[in-house]
Structures are given as structure tokens and as C-alpha cells.
Chains A and B, each alone.
Chain A
């Protein structure tokens, strides 16, 4: 079964700087996917980006990109040119096993962007 670890409880970054949020995973499945979600203080979880284990390239979505290092079992989220609106909780997640509907979440990282 999948296990997700986020080791940064909180991060403080100056506006316009890039920020990297760490996520490591532990699975024995040959095929898996990793997801990042953003949760602002309003409460809604927002899907940001997905990386498949067989994808040849790192995923990108606008200012979000994944630094996917399969050998190290890490899928770090990179936010370029951070904005005040990026202040939120960020969760890394993966299906409990391949094809499972249950997501396993990391403990999350609280990101604060300072003006």
C-alpha cells in the first residue's frame, strides 16, 4: 500500500520567489500516480497536478511543475513566481493501491507567501 510523507509542516516564502514543496512516497506497485492538491483557508481542495509513474517527462501545469525523481521516490511540487494567493495548505496524495478509489494523503505543508 502507498505511504506519503511530507516533511515540511510550514514554509514561508517571499512573493515572486520559487518554492519547492517536498513529497516522498513508498509503494511497491509498478504503476502509480501522484497528485497534488491545494487547500486555501476557505476549505475547498483544489486539484493542481498529476504525475504518472510511467510518464517520461515531469508534469507541468502553468506555474506548477513536478520534480519527479523515481529512483528517490520523490515527487516535489515546484511553484514558480509565487503569489499571495498561493498561501494555502498543500497535500500530496496517491491512490492506496493501483486503481484504488481511496487516496492516501500526506500530512500537508502550510505555505505562507509574504509580500
Chain B
């Protein structure tokens, strides 16, 4: 099974709302990633979890809060977002060692902040 699933597919939220994005993989990967992608741009790394511990935070604003409850699940909690946070949010997973760049991505959540 090489599938990474993400829910919801689309999300519209106001600037005062709290919402969460969810990601799940069952490939036994112990590294999981959150990316943000604006239209016509490459993905930008936000967070990396290795063995369920946060290993990289790319100076992401605190209104984005990641969580890795277990080795298969990754959440991104959203609170008090700004309109410029509207983007495609991609989750990915990979091995922790070896061919780390071979990442498997989910279909993404298209987020609109109003």
C-alpha cells in the first residue's frame, strides 16, 4: 500500500475558526512531512516528524500547530489563520534513513481562508 490519505480535500474557514487537517499512511514510514504550496510554485516544507518527534520546523507561524499522535497519523491544527495562508497543504511520508527524498504524497487539502 503506497497511499497517503488526507482529509478534508477542501476546507473553507474564517480567520477566527479552528480546524484540523489530517494525514494517514500505512507504509511503515517513520518520517512524515507537511508542505504548503501556493499556485504555480513548488511545495515549501513546513514541518518534519521523525519517529513521532518534531525534527524540523521551518520557522512556521504558531497559528499552525502540528501533531503526530502515532507513526501512521499526522495532524495540522489551524487557528486564527490569515487570507495569505490559503494554499494547497500536502502531507508526505518517507523512510527516515536511506532514500529520504523518495517521498510519498497525499492528494492535499485545498484551504481557503476568508
Contact = CB atoms under 8 A, between A and B. Distances in A.
A50 B99 CA distance: 9
Contacts of B90: 43-45
Interface in B20-71: 31, 33, 40-43, 45, 48, 50, 55-56, 58
A47 B105 CA distance: 8
5 contacts: A33-B101, A44-B90, A102-B56, A107-B42, A108-B42
Contacts of A43: 88, 90, 107-108, 110
Contact of A45 (B50, B92, B100): B92
Interface of B: 31, 33, 40-43, 45, 48, 50, 55-56, 58, 88, 90, 92, 94, 99-108, 110
B59 to A, nearest CB: 12
Interface stretch (A21-29, A72-80, A91-99): A91-99
A2 to B, nearest CB: 10
Contacts of B45: 102-103
B40 to A, nearest CB: 8
B69 to A, nearest CB: 20
A9 B48 CA distance: 29
A37 B88 CA distance: 16
A33 B99 CA distance: 8
Contacts, number: 60
Given A45-B90, A91-B42, A108-B42, A103 B107 contact: no
Interface string A33-60: 1010100001111110010000000000
Given A33-B99, A45-B43, A47-B103, 20 more contacts: A33-B101, A35-B102, A37-B105, A43-B107, A43-B108, A43-B110, A44-B106, A44-B107, A44-B108, A45-B90, A50-B99, A95-B100, A101-B33, A101-B48, A101-B50, A101-B55, A101-B56, A102-B45, A105-B42, A107-B42
